[in-house]
Amino acid sequence: MTTTVAAMTTGTTMTTESPRVLRAPWRRATVRTRITAGVAALTIVGLVLVSLALYAVESRRIDRTVERALLQELEEFSGFAERAPSAGITGPDAVVLAFLERNAPDARESLWAFPSAGTPQFTGDVDVELQGSDRFAGTVEQLRASGGASTIDVDGTEYRLVVQPVTDGSSTAAFVVVQDVSAARSELRSLLTTYAVVALVVLAAVTAVAAALAGRLLRPLTDLRETAQAITGSSVSAQDLRTRLEVVGHDDVAELQRTFNAMLDRVEEAFAAQRRLLDDAAHELRTPLTVIRGHLDVLDPDDLEDVAATRALVTDEVDRMGRLVGDLLMLARSVRPDFVRRTPTDAAALTVGVLERARGLGDRDWRLDGTAAVHADLDGQRLTQALLQLADNAHRHTSVGDVVAIGSAVVGEHLELWVRDTGTGIDPAVADVLFDRFARAGSDDEGFGLGLSIVQAIVLAHGGTVRVDPVQVGARLTLVLPLQPGVAFTGV
């Protein structure tokens, strides 16, 4: 027992210091290794708890079995002693010796007769160590007069004995029953040894299954990590951005894969848009730069008229490039969360205000189609900018006397704001790309084709869409904005 306690104490000390040494390697271990180690640790704890419970239960069972065997022998001896006189057996020594002759002890048990005088006799397996033990004899002598039970240790072997005195007044003999407790518990030790072997096999099997299962469950995460590493590498291609994870199942990992694929969709779209933006911007900037370089190359510094004309041309081209850069910055800011700042806005006042501002664009038949009697959380300045852009486009594609109308209305759960005209209309060939960056309607060479892209960016920031409505004459473009819950209507 002392050795066992010392070993356990040593193990406890090592466990207390281990985390300080293994902390860094444990953090560097893979999730699969951690899961496998965790399952193995839980299995070990479970097996150890089962072994301790098994040992405790079996130990109590052995103790109860030993006590029952001792009591049973005492009851049999007491009954025999009561019947002995009728059988002609008299005297303490004769009674004890006669009982030994007529009874056979159970396994791991011995029956002893200590006569009032003479050498003790026994029946059962020969136990040399017990026979020569002074402690055994001394314990019997202590209990000879009063009787009782005791546990002794003889050379590492534990015995449980009970003494029943027999007296006739002049002499006292003792009947002794001895149970070898260590022999009884040897079966328990054998059982625990077998359990330990089986437990090791179970531990190995559970660890192997846990490692395989963890690897299978974490495989989607491994694919996700490898895909992310490929995309975040030093050389990312369009093919890398088109890579998607194969989603299997409907668990949390599958949802993570779907979310990751959706993120890749947005990244690919942003990457493509950025590339198109850079390509188109480079193309648009190349023309004014070429014009400026060509005129500067042929400039005659001594010709004042040539210098003035070149100066005016360069200034005009620089202004055009400035407007282009401003529009590009506007589109770049459209992806920021604060691009749209919503405030309670009166849709009717917004519509009328845009119409009043648009009248300054040129001599057209400006009209108000109607107003939406509603207050909603909108960015009035951004929407005014978008509607004025549409009005400017309508002005440039109409002539004096043509109708340009602005209106708004609530349709279902949406607020619609539109600009329509009776001009040349929209060419069906460019309708699908009308809102793309640097796209132009027909032969319009004014601007850079970013106006409608800015309109679309403003509407998308409001969570809405831009719609090209089919009309018989001219064109009609409608901004469709979702109304937030709890909007206030100001009229019928």
pLDDT per residue as tens digits for the range 417-431: 999 999 888 776 666
Q: Rounded mean pLDDT of 341-359?
A: 91
User: What's residue 236's pLDDT?
Assistant: 55
**Residue 359, pLDDT score:** 87
Distance CA 150, CA 136 (A): 10
In 3D space, the residue among 196, 213, 224, 221 whose CA is nearest the CA of residue 36 turns out to be 213
- Mean of pLDDT values over 377-384: 89
pLDDT score at 198: 93
pLDDT at 280 (0 to 100): 65
Tell me the mean pLDDT in the region 375-384. Answer: 90
Burial environment of residue 124 by CB neighbours within 10 A (0 to 12, 13 to 18, 19 or more)? buried
What is the predicted pLDDT for the residue at 237? 57
* Token pair recorded at residue 158: 């534990």
Mean pLDDT of 481-489: 67
pLDDT at 203: 92
Tell me how crowded residue 211 is: count the other CB atoms within 10 A of its CB.
Answer: 17
Q: What is the DSSP letter of 322?
A: H
Say if residue 479's pLDDT is above 90.
Answer: yes
DSSP state, residue 486: T
* Residue ranges per structural domain of the chain: 20-186, 252-333, 343-489
Give the pLDDT score at 273: 67
Domain 20-186 has CATH 3.40.720: no
The predicted model gives 263-281 an average pLDDT of 71
Average pLDDT of 9-15? Answer: 38
pLDDT of residue 34: 85
Rounded to whole angstroms, the Cα distance separating 487 from 490 reads 10
Using pLDDT thresholds of 50, 70 and 90, give the confidence band for residue 7: very low
Q: What is the mean pLDDT of residues 433-449?
A: 56
pLDDT at position 249 is 67
pLDDT at 437: 60
CB 38 within 8 A of CB 197: no
258 vs 242: CA distance, rounded Å? 14
pLDDT by residue (tens digit) across 102-128? 888 888 889 999 998 888 999 888 888
Contacts with 463 (C-beta within 8 Å, 6 or more apart), sequence order: 481, 482
Q: What is the mean pLDDT of the chain?
A: 80
CA separation (Å) from 66 to 9, 113, 155, 176, 179? 32, 20, 20, 14, 7
- Give residue-wise pLDDT tens across range 33-82: 888 888 999 999 999 999 999 989 999 999 999 999 999 999 999 999 88
For the ranges 159-173, 276-290, 375-389, the lowest mean pLDDT is seen at: 276-290
Place of tokens 């202590």: 142
Reading phi first (left if > 0) and then psi (alpha if -120 to 50, else beta), residue 155 is in: left
Which of 83-87, 122-126, 259-263 has the least mean pLDDT?
259-263
Task: Indicate if the pLDDT at residue 11 is higher than 70.
Answer: no
For 251-256, what is the mean pLDDT?
75
| Radius of gyration of the chain measured on its C-alpha atoms | 51
pLDDT at residue 6, as a whole number: 31
pLDDT digits (tens, 9 = 90+) for 180-234: 998 888 888 888 999 999 999 999 999 999 989 888 877 777 777 777 776 765 5
The pLDDT assigned to 4 comes to 33
Domain 252-333: which CATH number of 1.10.10.10, 3.30.450.20, 1.10.287.130, 3.90.1150.10: 1.10.287.130
Average pLDDT of the segment spanning 242-247: 69
What is the CATH architecture of 343-489? Answer: 2-Layer Sandwich (3.30)
